[in-house]
Amino acid sequence: MPDIYAVFGNPVAHSKSPLIHAAFARQTGQDMTYSALLAPLDGFRESVAEFRKDGASGANVTVPFKEQAYALATRHTPRALAAGAANTLKFEVDGILGDNTDGAGLVRDLIVNLGVVIAGKRILLMGAGGAARGVIQPLLDQQPAQLFIVNRTPEKAIDLACAFAAGGVRGGGYAELSGEFDVVINATAASLANDLPPLPDSIFAPDALAYDMMYGRDTPFLAFARAHGARAADGLGMLVEQAAEAFNLWRGVRPDTATVIRSLREG
Ligand code: ATR
């Protein structure tokens, strides 16, 4: 019997995770299945409980259930604790381990795939919701010179920065932005609405990278970045890398991500 995994979300039909994990399993010779399961908005806990009862080994969790997945876990990795949200659950005999691989996925995509140095650099993180929160600690672990969280509602950025105050993070509104940044990361929902956060024209340092966590289409943020001389990257690499981190947690083997990213891009 193959081991059983799935991604829970709502909506979830668009998810590329089944494709990615199938590619990882083929590549590493792991005997497992991975499907996409739609959980009712008010029935996440029950859906996961049923899945586990049916003998599943673990699950990924996407929007809007990551906080609920965190609450469901009986044990957490340090990076899940920092994020306050879980995108990966591992079902164990005596409980559920909650992990959050999003931040590690982003950092790996930046460093390994895109060749970006984070250490000593000025990082601007746009957004103060769950997507932003999940990547702060892994970014700080790389010891940037500066991490500024900017948000449409400045208070939320300030609160979030306070939660990571030991790392020297600062937060505020777009009107407070000054100076240049080496890496600008879009963790807002603006791209979904084809919207551009109000960034100053002078935000990008020479050789800056603009990173949009969204993938699958060009965004106003990436177009803005290119028009201002920055290199632009979408979030497809992060998607594959966070999946690889989850796969490694479950199976104890790290798949090769570059080939999977390439084949997804070729579509
Ligand atoms: P997620 O879990 O994806 O982070 P979220 O918690 O709803 O989703 O957070 C969405 C983030 O995108 C927030 O930081 C939001 O700003 P506010 O806190 O001011 O609402 C930000 N956001 C959404 N639409 C935006 C837009 N058009 N321009 C700038 N920021 C936007």
pLDDT of residue 267: 82
SS3 236: helix
Cis ω for the linkage preceding 64 (within 30 of 0): yes
Q: Which of 84, 86, 56 is nearest to 69 (CA)?
A: 86
What DSSP designation does 142 have?
T
pLDDT of residue 165: 81
Question: What is the sign, positive or negative, of the torsion defined by CA atoms of 232, 237, 238, 239?
Answer: positive
134 lines ligand 1 (CB under 6 A): no
Residue 64 Cα: closest atom of ligand 1: 2
Q: Is beta strand 204-212 parallel, antiparallel or unpaired with respect to 231-233?
A: parallel
Tell me how far the alpha carbon of residue 121 lies from the centroid of ligand 1, in angstroms: 24
- The protein residue with its alpha carbon nearest to ligand 1, atom 5, reads 129
Residues 135-180: tens digit of each pLDDT: 999 999 999 999 999 999 999 999 999 999 877 899 999 999 999 9
SS3 207: strand
Look up tokens 């957004």; give the residue.
127
Cis ω for the linkage preceding 11 (within 30 of 0): yes
The active-site residue out of 66, 90, 121, 156 is: 66
130 lines ligand 1 (CB under 6 A): yes
Residue 152 Cα: closest atom of ligand 1: 19
191 lines ligand 1 (CB under 6 A): no
pTM higher than 0.85: yes
pLDDT of residue 147: 97
Look up tokens 């998607």; give the residue.
239
CA angle 240, 226, 242 (to 5 degrees): 10
Return d(Cα 56, Cα 5) in angstroms, integer. 6
User: What structural domains and CATH numbers belong to the chain?
Assistant: 3-100+238-266 (3.40.50.10860), 103-234 (3.40.50.720)
pLDDT of residue 42: 98
Tell me how far the alpha carbon of residue 130 lies from the centroid of ligand 1, in angstroms: 9
pLDDT of residue 239: 98
Spans of the chain below 70 pLDDT:
none
pLDDT of residue 73: 98
Own/partner pairs, 128-132, CB within 8 angstroms, 24+ separation = 128/153, 128/156, 128/157, 128/159, 128/160, 128/171, 129/156, 129/187, 129/188, 129/189, 130/66, 130/67, 130/83, 130/85, 131/102, 131/187, 131/188, 131/189, 131/213, 132/160, 132/187, 132/188
174 lines ligand 1 (CB under 6 A): no
CA dist 173 to 95, 121, 178, Å? Answer: 41, 21, 11
Strands (E), 39-102: 58-61, 75-76, 88-92, 95-99
Active site residue 121: no
